[in-house]
Chain A
Amino acid sequence: NAGVTQTPKFRVLKTGQSMTLLCAQDMNHEYMYWYRQDPGMGLRLIHYSVGEGTTAKGEVPDGYNVSRLKKQNFLLGLESAAPSQTSVYFCASSYYVGSAGYTFGSGTRLTVV
C-alpha cells in the first residue's frame, strides 16, 4: 500500500499565483487533515475533513481552501499565494477517533517568492 501520497513534493510560486496540493490515501480512512510545519511552531492544522463531501476550518485556515469530493482525495488550494505561506505542508489521514494516530504523507515544500 502507498499510504498517503502528496503531490507535488516541491514547488516555487510567485506572489499572487495559485496552486493546488493533492493528497491521496488508499487506506479507506474517513478523516483527512492538512497541516503546515514552520520552524519552532510544530504542526498547525489548516483544514480537515471528517468524510467525503465535508470540510472544516482548523487553526490557521486563512488564505487556503479545501475540497473532499472523493473519499480518498483531499485537495488544498492557495488562491493567491503570499510569502507567509512559505512552509512545509503535510497531509494526514486517520480511520477513526483515538486510533493509532495519523498516517502522514512525506510533505510538500512550498516557497512563495
Chain B
Amino acid sequence: AQSVAQPEDQVNVAEGNPLTVKCTYSVSGNPYLFWYVQYPNRGLQFLLKYITGDNLVKGSYGFEAEFNKSQTSFHLKKPSALVSDSALYFCAVLSSNDYKLSFGAGTTVTVRA
C-alpha cells in the first residue's frame, strides 16, 4: 500500500519569505511524486512532478520540489512567497507498478502581506 503524509495542516509565512510545504511518502516500487494546488471552490491544478532524473524539480509559478530518496520526502519550496500563493496544497504519490494516485491530507498555506 502507498501513503502520503503532510505533517503540517497549516503553514503561515510573510510575503517575500521562503515557503516550504513538507511531504513524506511510502510506496513499494519506484515513486512518482506530484504536487497539486487548489484555490477556493476550484479543482486541483498540477504544479510539478518527479518521475526520474534530477532530484530538484522546477514547476509552475516559481515552485520547486526536492526528491530525497533516503528520507522518502518530496518537500515543496518557493524562495519568495506571494499573497496569491495562499491556497491548499496536496502532495500525491503513484507507485511505478500501479496507476492510482494517493493524496496527502493537504496543507493550507496562508501568505500575509
Contact = CB atoms under 8 A, between A and B. Distances in A.
Interface of A: 4, 31, 33, 35, 40-45, 48, 50, 58, 90, 92, 94, 97-98, 100-107
B65 interface: no
A72 to B, nearest CB: 18
Given A90-B43, A106-B43, A101 B101 contact: yes
A100 B103 CA distance: 15
A58 B100 contact: yes
A31 B44 contact: no
B43 A101 contact: no
B19 interface: no
A42 B106 contact: yes
B90 A94 contact: no
Contact of B100 (A45, A98, A105): A45
Contacts of B103: 35, 42-44
B34 to A, nearest CB: 5
Interface in B21-45: 32, 34, 36, 41-45
B9 interface: yes
